[in-house]
Structures are given as structure tokens and as C-alpha cells.
Structure 1
Amino acid sequence: MPADRRLAPCARLPSAYQGRDVLHSTVDAFGRAHWLLRGPDERYDDDLYDALVVTVDDADAYATRLGPVRARVPRIDALPDGGFVVADARSRRGVDQVRVFDALGRPVSAFTVGDAIEHLLTDERGDLWVGYFDEGVFGDPLSAAGVRRWSSTGDPLWRHTPLSDAEFVSDCYALNVGRRATWVYPYTLFPLLEVREGRPVRVRTTPVRGATGVVVCGGRVAFRGGYRAAGDQLVLGELTETAVEFVAKDRLVRPDGAPLGRCRTVCRGPRLYVLEEPFTQWTVFELG
């Protein structure tokens, strides 16, 4: 019988900022949680608006006002220098899709990375890893690789080039940006791709279809979610040279043991961060 794996509390949006619209939230490469918020006191003019980023770092919390922001469907992450990057998941002709802000919230650069962003994660160097969903892969040359890495100034650094149908990315279901490796789990065949700088991409078959999160620790791996009734499953496996071998199937639950509701995940090495509606509390599962 599957065992319950309880998530642990991680970071909560301070009560002073609750009640504002949560436009997006993430956990960065250093374990800090960030919420992109907009409220009635923020300026909104046409498709430009002011926004607030609330950062929770252990017991500390602080806010940074960004302006102007243009993203209609925003994705946010933090940079090592204290700045932020905000991207629009859908690109528009003639509009810079990505805006980079310094630590004071001032815009410093803008560029485009391709339509249909499913995942946007920065690494410890400040580079942007972007995973795309199918409308971009099949509709925008910038997104056609399925996964790309960009500098924080918009320079293309790497793009996935599949050498076989087995590693083709039609839709990036899960993306994990760790300290030493990036892991990609794509539709349609759902392999696990291991990306390390200076090495060929390693491809492994997996026993899981439709997962929305993947975490890796040494030779162990865990997939969160799946199709239909498998949304709360946690499939544990071991890495071999060519495959992920099934070990066990457990169930991921809230810290109090209750079933999870609608949520999204961020994957960082061995840590799976979960944000459940109303999107004010991050919890975490750590493999290892």
C-alpha cells in the first residue's frame, strides 16, 4: 500500500500582503520564495502596470516594487545580484517579452526568448532556463527546441538538439534546474534528460507518464503527479545508465496529512516545492 509522504512547511506570504492578486510565485536557486503581486494601489495603464515582489528568505521578508511590468501571463524568478526577471508566457510581435529589473526594481534590459513559456528558472549564475509548451515548440522558431538556456541579457547560450525521436521535446512537462545539472521531462515519450555543461545530453527511459515534477538526489529520482487520478502520486526510482528503474509508489500529501488540491511545483535538485491554492504557502519535499 502506498505510504504518505508529508510535505514540510517552507515559506508563507506575510499576512500584510495577503489579499492582493498573486500573479506568479517561485522559489529561486538559493531557496528564497518570491511572490509577484498586484493590488489596488498599483498603477495600471493600458498593458503596463506596477507590481510588488515580496521575498521570504528564512525568517526575513522584504518587498521590492517593480515598474513598469508588461507581462500579461507573468513568470518571475530572481537573479543572484538581487534583481528579478519577469517574462510573459506568451510573446507578442513588437513587444519585448522579458524584462530584467535591478535590485531596486528598475528595468535594465528587455528581450524575447520565444512563445509559450511553461517553465522559467534561473540558476545560481543568473542564466535563464526556459521550457516551452507545444504551441511554442510547433509555432515559434525561438521555442522549437523545447528547452533553452539564455543569459540574463538575452544571449542564447544553449538549446536542446535531439539526436533521436526518444529525446524530442514536444512539451516540457517538468524542468529541474539544480546546482550541477538540469533535468528535463518532456512529452511525448516522457524520457528523463540529464543536461550537464560540456557533456552530451543523457537520455533515460522512465516508468511514469504525465508527471509535473521531478527531483534527483545522487542515483535516486522521484516524479510527482501523473494523468487523471495519479495527480498526488510520488513515484520513486533509481537511475541506471539508460533508464529510471521503478522502486516504489507513494502519495504526496499536505503537512497535516490531507490530500493536495490544485497546485503547481518548482523543482530544484533534490527539492520539490509545492504551491497550493490560494498560492500563499510554499511547502517542500526533499529527496534523500
Structure 2
Amino acid sequence: MVFALDSGEQEATFCIGDDIPALVTDCGGSIWTAYGDEGIYGGHPESAAGPAGWSAEGQATWAPEGRLPDMPLEGCTAATEGDRVWLIWNSGSRRGGAFLTRITPSTGEVTSGVVRRWQAGGDVGLYDCTSQPHESAALRTPSQRRPTSDGTG
């Protein structure tokens, strides 16, 4: 069900799949979902791809189409930032691993990197996960971060 922000009135009803551990909306009103194992392998057609993008009317707008380095399975969370969608998820294959994926719907760009725990000076953290599509991410502690053009590092 989709409800109007200002009135709380129901605007639409549609099905976007089963076993949805992560659901977020972006500033344009699109809906982003990530599915768990029961959704992916349970035979529901909307859930089979893993993550998916939807319009506020329930129309499929984005699917991975082979652009992820592995098949997602549980342990997924999502967030939006401007026109980007971020997913952090665990692999469903035997090789395992955790991935950070950035989706830019306006360009179709999908960038994923392997998330690793990095320990430096006793602190454990995940920082600056940057990568090329389907390549491992470079994780840096704050002292290893490169300055950005705005000086924030």
C-alpha cells in the first residue's frame, strides 16, 4: 500500500514480492526493495532478482540484470542519498562475502565492492568503499583517506 505523505490517504495497492528485509524510498518517490532467500528462491516473480526498483504505481523500474558480482541473500540493508541507492548485502553463494552496491538509476550505473573489516590502531571500521564495477573495494581508515575537492577527506 502507498499512502500520501500529506493526507495519509491510501493512494495505491500493489504487490512487490515476498520476504522483503529492506525497503526504502528515494526523493523522487521510487521504491527500492531487497529480498531474502524465501523471496528469491520462493517462486514469487517479483522477488527472484534480489534487489529491485519500483515506481510509486508498482511498475518495475530497475533490476540487477547480471550487474551484481554475486547473488544477494539476507543480511541486506538499504539507504538512499540524492539520486543514488545504496545496498549492503551478504552473498548467497558458497564463496560468501559482504558487498556494498551503489545504484544510480538515472545513468544505470551499478558499482559494487567487497566489504572487508579493516583494523588499524585498534579501531575496526569500514571507510571509503570505492571500486570499479564488480571489483573489490578499497577500504581505508580515517588516517588513510585521501582529501576530496571540498577538503573533507
Matches within 5 A, 1:104-183: 104-139=7-42, 140-163=44-67, 166-171=69-74, 173-183=76-86
Shift of 1:130: 0.9
SS at structure 1 position matched to 2:98: coil
Shift of 1:172: 5.3
Aligned position for 1:204: 113
- After superposition, the C-alpha distances for 1:83-112 in whole angstroms (9 at most, x for unaligned) are xxxxxxxxxxxxxxxx12233222222110
Sort the Cα spacing of 1:127 and 1:163 in 2 relative to 1 into closer, same or farther, 3 A. Answer: closer
Whichever residue aligns with residue 207 of structure 1, its letter is R
> Do 2:130 and 2:139's aligned partners in 1 also have CA atoms closer than 8 Å?
no
Matches within 5 A, 1:15-30: none
Distance in 2 between the 1:191 and 1:244 partners? 9
Distance in 2 between the 1:136 and 1:127 partners? 20
> Do 1:147 and 1:172's aligned partners in 2 also have CA atoms closer than 8 Å?
no
- After superposition, the C-alpha distances for 1:110-157 in whole angstroms (9 at most, x for unaligned) are 110000111111111111111111111111221111111111111111
Whichever residue aligns with residue 206 of structure 1, its letter is V
Unaligned ranges ≥5, structure 1? 1-98, 209-232, 250-286
Sort the Cα spacing of 1:180 and 1:105 in 2 relative to 1 into closer, same or farther, 3 A. Answer: closer
Larger Rg: 1
> Could you tell me the percent identity over the aligned residues?
23
1:195 and 2:103 correspond: yes
> Do 2:15 and 2:58's aligned partners in 1 also have CA atoms closer than 8 Å?
yes
Aligned position for 1:246: 139
Structure scoring higher RCO (CA < 8 A, sep ≥ 6) equals 1
Distance in 1 between the 2:12 and 2:131 partners? 42
- Alignment length (residue pairs): 128
Aligned position for 2:3: 101
Unaligned ranges ≥5, structure 2? 92-96, 118-123, 143-151
Sort the Cα spacing of 1:106 and 1:199 in 2 relative to 1 into closer, same or farther, 3 A. Answer: closer
The alignment yields a C-alpha RMSD, in angstroms, of 2.4
TM-score, normalised relative to structure 2: 0.71
Distance in 2 between the 1:126 and 1:141 partners? 23
SS at structure 1 position matched to 2:108: coil
Distance in 2 between the 1:147 and 1:172 partners? 12
> Do 1:162 and 1:168's aligned partners in 2 also have CA atoms closer than 8 Å?
no
Which one has the bigger strand percentage?
Answer: 1
